[in-house]
Structure 1
């Protein structure tokens, strides 16, 4: 009996020994498996749990005017989020406290903060633990939100006695409303709508340029992303001393424009008055330095706020100065006369009979607004005779006229650094009809943009040399070091300097006594320019009662510093360029010349009431 018990004990001890041996063998195998065979895999898994890559976004570059005034800038901002589950039944009170700070309606915010069950695409039912409240919130506003939540009070006496409720309230104050980790930027335009069509705007989650210079210079303004490879502890806090990689972002370059905010403001304020006075469908103005092609101002109405581009129709965001074309009308007569003078076919004293206001050609009658007989070439410009211009064009001939039209920049893009520029319409010679040679010289059967018109006149002001319009001067890095310069560029010499001076002489008479633009005359500066009144074309012909009135001129006439175009689309009532656009030119020119300190070139004289055209 005793032996049986001993034998049984030995068997039990043996079984335990075998079990322990197997257990320790399994543990040893497991350790070898983890530490040897699967070491690399588990190491990578562990690192994946504690190591992560943080993308560092670059700050978008600023845009400045020619004088260093900031027109566009970016700030890093927050995306405010919430965990409705952590708010519990207190979400209405939280919505009431935060709605004014977020600029949201209380009911709208309350609906976002309400805890609810949601069904995922896979069919799982989950609580809404993450709700985005608002994007692009300034850091100082987020600080206010954080303070408001930290001081949030609950009118419930039982909280003081219940530790569980105390912990709930503490967590709610600290973590229920938070900022998303992903960085975001807000594009700010300190001058508001000033220069909106030139600047454009940014949009979308990527903060990329969508229109205007924001789009054209987007790759330069955006910069390059950086990154940090970091390790975190069990509470997801970074262990800075164990940071693996730290590659800083390269912020975007800063763009400096030729645009002058002071001139731009003058132009926009005068256009607004003109728009209201004439009840126009739109107005456009451009101010250029003839010698360099620098655009000092470019404005259109209607306009938009680049911070909220979606608040207006797409048509209001269109930069009419480069995208819209119109028949230039009488402003185009300068091209015809310049070409004929340059070819030596006429002089300013050459005379043409203007058929007493009615000229039959190719079965169609061409009319002048007044019946003229013999007029010199100079007087054809002064009086803006359609018939006289047609006859000068006929002497020049269609092939040469066509070439001068192209040489002055019509029919092709001028290459300004703005999106949407079009080349206008210049029909090839094979598509000209017998009537064309009598219509094209006076600005019909062709179409150009406001930019093309002002650059054509700038070429005459610049001794016959056409310049490429320039809107961006240079790019600098954030330390102010020059990265890229956009120099002034000449496109071509269109006419000789002597011919340009002759055309200038004729254009000066347009604003003198007997000219069509006396209302563009300035007291202290000599002006050379040309009016334009074009009936708008539509399907099947010209549209009754719809006109495009313009004036383009430069000053001081004999040493030009500025060339200015003003165009009024569909003015109500008066529609002649000399009555509608010329007075706006005068106001812009007077204020701009004073602002820039351009020395006067004449003494003030009494201005008479103007003729019309």
Structure 2
């Protein structure tokens, strides 16, 4: 019997199941492969972002949200010796805008704020219009960026900014904003709150206008582009503002922080915060009242004699402290845009042939070396002296004069003969020792050296010309410094214009002490020179108009023909008078110099009266005790008190 064999069913059974299972396995493997590749790609991307390109991408991310905010320090004040404010910084606002937040509304914004900023409305609307600019990113690729920062106005008072802020808050656009989409409502909210904003700034102010303008100097604004924002810094351009730039400036602070999309700081993400250190106050030796006295006297002389310029200096000979320094024409630092070269500080910038004031150099040198005595006599040749192929002249005819009378009468020929006797090397030595041909070292910019040629470059006639103030060029300050040395027992002092540096609360950081440069002549020689110089401001001297009622004056006149294009200019003179008082106990040394005066040109005639006016008023203001022998019953002069003109902020 044949066994029954069960046939497999074609529609089912093991072979069909096995085939189906293999297909599923293939599909699963394919899916696993795809998932594995995806995870591998994601893993590589994570490694790329977190490890391989971490520094680069972190820098880019910070570039989008990180910003450095600079904190400008307050610039220090400039004060006179009594604490009166000569220059100060006032807090103001710089008004800025983010055009990207203004959208299609620049006209509406400009219409509201242009009148408050006193700007042209159409021009302002153009400035507020959104726009893009092209730049390169950190990879050097060219990218397009929205403009987020424009500066609309500087030096805006706080009250004006408050009005602008209120106007922006209440700005309307002629639409019912309740019916707008959420995005549009957000746009208008950001426009009102953030599109126009302010940055803290400061403006330099000079409360006394013209007073001591050239000494104080004037400012400019230096700008630096930091991340698309212009950072402003006040820098000095002349005078003390320039010379003392570092202590006045202070040290800037900064914050490194995160910002939102509107470029406003997220305080909680602040990384660094370094506070600014305000600038120091600079206290000058200038006394505002003395400065006012000199400026007033020179302005009157300017009107009377119409010179091209006139200068005046008041110095304490014992210390070198300068109480006043004036050069007319001058300038108002508040109006720096209108300053011209004619308003420069000629006291230190311009050089001139000094004329007869230089006779103090040759005579004091000859006395100090024992070459002459005050009683020695010289033949002054009745006004004509031939030497080295040249004829030297005196303004008046003089015969035999003593050394003292050569000073009294200001004889050119007498001074030339003393110079010849002193010798070239000695004459050069004393001229150099008095500081000629060198800067005085006063901390003011633009000081000239003057001209004092070495002996090897002298001509045969130089030894006779230099003693009378020809063939040498000096600044007005150098000449006064030399005269002050004679008043100070022969000691040359460094001119002082800065007294001290102090914090805003008045605590002193640094004090500048009087500096002796060197002793040029002995105390005995200086006493002899003073005796000779006393005779100048007398009826027998060349500056009788400089005499004071209650003080003995020691001084010297100068009248120098101007040099133009290498030759002496006919009819053009520089007149001067330098003097100090009380002669035997000097308190003040004063210089007055006129360039091309009219209505007279002799130093004693045109500058002597100006010296007298300044000296009398300064003596009254400073309560300088009079010489007992000369006391009169004259009423004291009234000097304006300037303390009310400036107030500490």
Shorter-chain TM-score tier? 0.7 to 0.9
Moved more, 78-87 or 413-422: 78-87
How far residue 465 of structure 1 moved from its aligned partner, in angstroms, is 0.9
Deviation at 1:467, TM superposition (A): 0.7
Superposed counterparts of 1:196-595, under 5 Å: 196-203=213-220, 204-205=222-223, 206-232=233-259, 238-316=265-343, 318-478=344-504, 480-595=506-621
CA shift, 1:78, in A, is 3.3
The answer to whether the 8 Å contact 1:78/1:139 transfers is yes
Distance 1:27 1:201, change over 3 A: farther
Q: Which moved more, 1:14-23 or 1:184-193?
A: 14-23
Q: Distance in 2 between matches of 1:44 and 1:86?
A: 26
Shift of 1:125: 8.9
Would you say the 8 A contact 1:159–1:166 is kept in 2?
A: no
Check if 1:144 corresponds to 2:163.
Answer: yes
Contact in 2 for aligned 1:230/1:238 (Cα 8 Å): yes
**For the Cα contact (< 8 Å) 1:523–1:605, is it kept in 2?**
no
> Aligned-pair distance for 1:52?
4.0
C-alpha distance in structure 1 between counterparts of 2:489 and 2:121, whole Å: 65
Contact 1:226/1:247 (<8 A) preserved = yes
Deviation at residue 491 of structure 1 after TM alignment: 1.2
The TM-score, its normalising length taken from structure 2, stands at: 0.82
Change (3 A) 1:483 1:129: closer
Query: What SS does the corresponding residue of 1:338 show, helix, strand or coil?
Result: helix
- TM normalised by structure 1 equals 0.87
- What is the CA–CA distance in structure 2 between the aligned matches of 1:9 and 1:77, rounded to whole Å? 84
Distance 1:79 1:311 in 2: 23
Aligned ranges 1:55-66 → 2 under 5 Å:
55-66=70-81
Distance 1:371 1:111, change over 3 A: farther
Q: Which residue of 1 aligns with 2:226?
A: none
User: Could you tell me which of 210, 219, 237 is aligned with 1:193?
Assistant: 210
Deviation at 1:466, TM superposition (A): 0.7
Residues 535-583 of structure 1, C-alpha deviation per residue, up to 9 Å, x if partnerless? 1101241112221111111111111111111111122332221222222
Partner of 1:72: 87
Q: Residue 391 of structure 1 aligns to a residue in which SS?
A: helix
Structure ID, larger Rg = 2
What is the aligned partner in structure 2 of residue 38 from structure 1?
Answer: 50
1:366 Cα shift?
1.8
Pick closer, same or farther for the CA change 1:52–1:306 going to 2, 3 Å. Answer: same
Question: CA offsets, 1:160-195, max 9 Å, x none?
Answer: 675368766544433332235xx6443332332322
C-alpha RMSD over aligned residues: 3.5
1:55-134 correspondence to structure 2 within 5 Å: 55-83=70-98, 91=106, 94-95=109-110, 97-105=112-120, 109=124, 112-113=127-128, 115=129, 120=134, 130-134=149-153
Q: Secondary structure at the match of 2:42?
A: helix
Structure 1 SS opposite 2:153: strand
Question: Is the CA contact (8 Å cut-off) linking 1:393 and 1:441 kept in structure 2?
Answer: yes
Aligned to 1:609: none
Most deviating of 344-353 and 332-341? 344-353
Task: Specify every segment of 5 or more residues in structure 2 that has no aligned partner in the other structure, as ranges.
Answer: 1-9, 137-141, 224-232, 635-649
1:173 aligns with 2:192: yes
Q: Greater shift after overlay, 401-410 or 455-464?
A: 401-410
